[in-house]
Amino acid sequence: MKARLSWICHGPTEANRKGCFPDDEPLEAKAAQRAKLPVARLATIDRVWTAPALRARQTAAILGPDAILETALRECDYGEWCGKSLAELHESDPESLALWMTDLDAAPHGGESLSSVVLRIGEWMGHHLHDAGHTVAVTHASVIRAAVLHVLQAPLAAFWTIDVEPFGMVEMTSDGRRWQLRFPRMVE
């Protein structure tokens, strides 16, 4: 039995474009029209899980109406930084921003640490190791980074070396014992 898991990052938002910590903002107005999700590769979907944020639910709706809300796939809680830009924090509180970027156990914003996100997503993946068929998880860049770190058993510091763009996709497979990254052929 082989399980397949496709992680899809939500589409672009104004917060993405402005370099802001997300709040519960919607997709940009034309994001759904510009969506170039690899639908052919996703043709045999058995289930779609989505993070609860509006931008994730709107992205999941592009795949169809039957997405299952999964709170474990939620974005990192950025606490009092929600809605603030990196530039603004660099000006007003550079020490806290630097601490957050160098110590993934830190949560100077009063929310969730990035190491907690990695742990949460690793646990979620462990619970779905034996799911049959093809699962799509629509979520956030931070969550997909956490999933990649978990699969590679990479150090937390590698979090910042993974770039996930809006509408980006990462694929994984499971043989029931572990998850592996999957790099599919462009042409089937």
List the chain domain ranges.
3-22+35-182
- pTM comes to 0.92
Crossing angle for the helix pair 114-127 and 141-152, to the nearest 10 degrees? 70
φ, ψ (nearest 5 deg) of residue 110:
85, 5
The third-level CATH classification (topology) of the domain covering 3-22+35-182 is: Rossmann fold (3.40.50)
Q: What is the pLDDT along the chain (188 residues), one digit of tens a residue?
A: 589 999 999 999 999 999 999 999 999 988 766 665 555 456 688 999 999 999 999 999 988 888 999 999 999 999 999 999 999 999 999 999 999 999 999 999 999 999 999 999 999 999 999 999 999 999 999 999 999 999 999 999 999 999 999 999 999 999 999 999 998 766 55
Q: Name the H helices within the chain.
A: 14-18, 31-34, 54-63, 86-92, 94-102, 114-127, 141-152
